[in-house]
Amino acid sequence: MALPNIRPVARRLQPARLVLVAGLGLALAACGHRQDDVATDVASASITSIGVNSYLWRASLETLSFMPLTQADSAGGVIVTDWYSNPQNPGERVKVSVSILDQDLRADALRVAASREVNRGGQWVAAPVQAATVQKLEDIILTKARDLRRSDVG
């Protein structure tokens, strides 16, 4: 049994296939992005989120703004300052580290550590930090974070 020759039929359908492909191409092109979709995509791509409580983060940065920062990692919630000497007391310097541990605004989501050095004969020597100093810094940051939250909510 001989198979029918389909070449003449395929040649006759060639223009119809071209029209079909062109029509599908135009129809699918209409499904693309609209101009306002592009603006929305760009806006959402530029939004950054932090991995910790934003009020604690902002309050920590504001509280330590007078000190030079060596690290500010919003994703990990870590802020580390460089050594800071008070102009009133140049023989002493302090370095502070703040860790924000949670996304909730809670006192236990904040950890502050400080290091202190005093200058003895031109050498910086480690000195103890009073526990009240660290506690006072934590209180200042927590109070500022609560105030920031109140101003946003209220």
Q: In what order do the strands lie in the sheet with 78-81?
A: 69-73, 78-81, 92-100, 110-120, 123-127
Residues 39 and 59 in one domain: no
Residues 98 and 77 in one domain: yes
Residues 142 and 73 in one domain: yes
What residues make up the domain containing 113?
54-153
Q: Is the pLDDT reported for residue 16 higher than 60?
A: no
CATH code of the domain in which 138 resides: 3.10.110
Residues 38 and 104 in one domain: no
Q: Which of the four pLDDT bands, split at 50, 70 and 90, describes residue 94?
A: very high
Structural domain count of the chain: 2
| Contact assessment for residue 101 and residue 109, using Cβ atoms and an 8 Å cutoff | yes
Q: Which of the four pLDDT bands, split at 50, 70 and 90, describes residue 71?
A: very high
- φ/ψ (deg, to 5) at 95: -130, 135
User: Would residue 135 count as lying in a domain?
Assistant: yes
| Contact assessment for residue 110 and residue 102, using Cβ atoms and an 8 Å cutoff | no
Tens of pLDDT, residues 22-64: 555 555 455 555 555 555 444 433 445 778 999 999 999 999 9
User: Would residue 101 count as lying in a domain?
Assistant: yes
Tens of pLDDT, residues 114-140: 999 999 999 999 999 999 999 999 999
State the residue for tokens 């236990």.
Answer: 108
Residues 98 and 36 in one domain: no
User: What are the structure tokens assigned to 50, written together?
Assistant: 């932090």
